[in-house]
Amino acid sequence: MSSSKPDRRLLILQAAVKLLSDKGIIGLTHRAVDAQARIPQGSTTYYYPKKNDLLRAAAEHLAQELEKDCDALQVSFADIVAKQGMTAAIDHVANMLVTTIDEARHLFIARIELTLAAARDTELADMGHRLSDAGKRPIAFFVNLITNSENQPAIETCVSLLDGIALTYATGQAKHLTTTQITSVIKTIVTD
């Protein structure tokens, strides 16, 4: 067995997230995942016998994808603050958030699909909270860096506002997402 061969579970979960983004929860079937992942029919069922098993695994995979890269960003943020000041660092954060949302639009769409499924199925309720926390984590991370973890209610409000802006943009309800939008929200709590 070759070590460069992708893990079948990972292929399944990546395919599931892609299907959730492209076709929604209705398009997520075991057969569709097998076809999307280009693996033998029945493979998804073998690993995830019930659709809720697949949804939970896809949600956890998605949460991990949404939470990536915070450590590297902290180093770049600290470097910019030290060399250029807080205003430049806030602009950097805004640029990073806009870039992340642009590059990971499919993850935001899949998150919405899974969160709605969790809202409708009490068996999956915890999944919705996990996804919400994961989606907000990078934003909270940045806002906490900027504010130095002061004024927690304002930080939570800012994170929710930015998350809402990101979701609105990812779903196509807003035509543009700009760094100015992001910085204006962040600066309201930094100046308080």
Structural contact between residues 105 and 174, judged by C-beta atoms closer than 8 angstroms: no
Q: Is residue 96, in this structure, part of any structural domain at all?
A: yes
Domain ranges, residue 68: 63-190
Residue by residue, pLDDT tens for the chain (192 residues) are: 445 567 999 999 999 999 999 999 999 999 999 999 999 999 999 999 999 999 999 999 999 888 776 666 767 777 888 899 888 888 887 888 788 788 888 888 999 999 999 999 999 999 988 988 887 777 777 777 777 666 677 777 887 888 888 888 888 887 778 888 888 888 777 665
- Please tell me the predicted confidence (pLDDT) of residue 150: 63
Between CA 69 and CA 101 the distance in angstroms is 14
**Same domain, yes or no: 111 and 100:** yes
Q: Is residue 1, in this structure, part of any structural domain at all?
A: no
Q: Is residue 2, in this structure, part of any structural domain at all?
A: no
Last residue of a domain, one of 43, 61, 79: 61
| Residues 100-110: tens digit of each pLDDT | 788 888 888 99
